[in-house]
Amino acid sequence: GDSVTQMEGPVTLSEEAFLTINCTYTATGYPSLFWYVQYPGEGLQLLLKATKADDKGSNKGFEATYRKETTSFHLEKGSVQVSDSAVYFCALSGEGGGNKLTFGTGTQLKVEL
């Protein structure tokens, strides 16, 4: 079945550092790929998505590129802020899956001054 593997956290960075959170997936066909963010005490929010190979999703300075050849969707941001501290989830929605999402385990990011 479909699965998502993302790097374990927590990840601790200084403000303005470069962020990469790795995400790889296993799925048949061409799934849609997502990054969700969960701020403390809040529900998951869609951060960005990509629906086909080589698509780049971007939002709030975060980017991720759908790489079919490496089955990856790594999240990057050039300069993190304290306000980016949250838990980040990589997820996929398989072809014909009826919008059902398969999530990775989540990576906690802590950004310090």
Partner 1 sequence: GAVVSQHPSWVICKSGTSVKIECRSLDFQATTMFWYRQFPKQSLMLMATSNEGSKATYEQGVEKDKFLINHASLTLSTLTVTSAHPEDSSFYICSALGLAGDEQYFGPGTRLTVT
Interface residues with partner 1 (CB under 8 A) are 4, 36, 41-46, 89, 98-106
d(CA 40, CA 28): 34
Cβ-based nearer residue to partner 1, 14 or 105? 105
d(CA 20, CA 5): 14
d(CA 70, CA 83): 31
Cβ-based nearer residue to partner 1, 33 or 102? 102
Cβ-based nearer residue to partner 1, 79 or 105? 105
In this structure, the strands spanning 86-93 and 107-112 are antiparallel
What is the smallest separation between the CB atom of 19 and partner 1, expressed in angstroms? 20
d(CA 47, CA 84): 11
What is the smallest separation between the CB atom of 79 and partner 1, expressed in angstroms? 27
What is the smallest separation between the CB atom of 103 and partner 1, expressed in angstroms? 4
Cβ-based nearer residue to partner 1, 20 or 105? 105
> Which residues, in sequence order, are CB contacts of 60 under 8 Å at separation 6+?
47
What is the smallest separation between the CB atom of 104 and partner 1, expressed in angstroms? 6
